[in-house]
């Protein structure tokens, strides 16, 4: 009886994950998985003397346009990590606060002078 050498190549594509745990396990194996990018999408609430603010980080990958920082009036070029800030306690509601959001340099936001409304 003559046996043929076995191939080490997989014969078919891996099946899609059947459970949520399998999906998590597979996403951890991916090289392009960036937990910092995932966390950057969530806005945190900051309290300051000038009101309540929602602050969201924008990563270097997500920064695709030019913005003008209201703190220093300089341009935030594409590919620069920065913050998006909007008023959480806007007089005309949440939608108005989001519509008036601004892009700030991280340093400018931390060292801003408080403007009382």
Q: Flag whether pLDDT at 99 surpasses 80.
A: yes
* Residue 2 in domain: no
Find the domain containing 69 and state its range.
37-110
Q: Please indicate, yes or no, if residue 31 is contained in any of the structural domains.
A: no
Q: How far apart are CA 82 and CA 62, in angstroms?
A: 10
72 lies in a domain?
yes
The per-residue pLDDT for range 34-87, each reduced to its tens digit, is 555 555 568 889 988 888 889 999 988 888 899 999 999 999 999 999 999 998
Length of the chain counted residue by residue? 117
Task: Count structural domains, the chain.
Answer: 1
pTM for the full predicted model: 0.61
17-to-25, 33, 37, 92 alpha-carbon distances in Å: 9, 17, 23, 45
Which residues are bridge partners to 47 per DSSP? Answer: 52
How high is the pLDDT of residue 117?
46
């Amino acid at each position: 009886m003559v046996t043929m050498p076995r191939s080490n190549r997989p014969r078919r594509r891996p099946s899609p994950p059947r459970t949520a745990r399998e999906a998590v396990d597979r996403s951890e194996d991916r090289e392009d998985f960036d937990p910092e990018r995932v966390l950057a999408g969530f806005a945190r609430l900051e309290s300051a003397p000038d009101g309540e603010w929602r602050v969201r980080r924008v990563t270097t990958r997500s920064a695709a346009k030019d913005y003008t920082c209201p703190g220093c009036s300089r341009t935030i070029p594409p590919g620069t990590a920065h913050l998006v800030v909007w008023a959480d306690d806007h007089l005309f509601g949440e939608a108005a606060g989001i519509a008036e959001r601004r892009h700030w340099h991280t340093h400018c936001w931390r060292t801003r002078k408080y403007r009382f409304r």
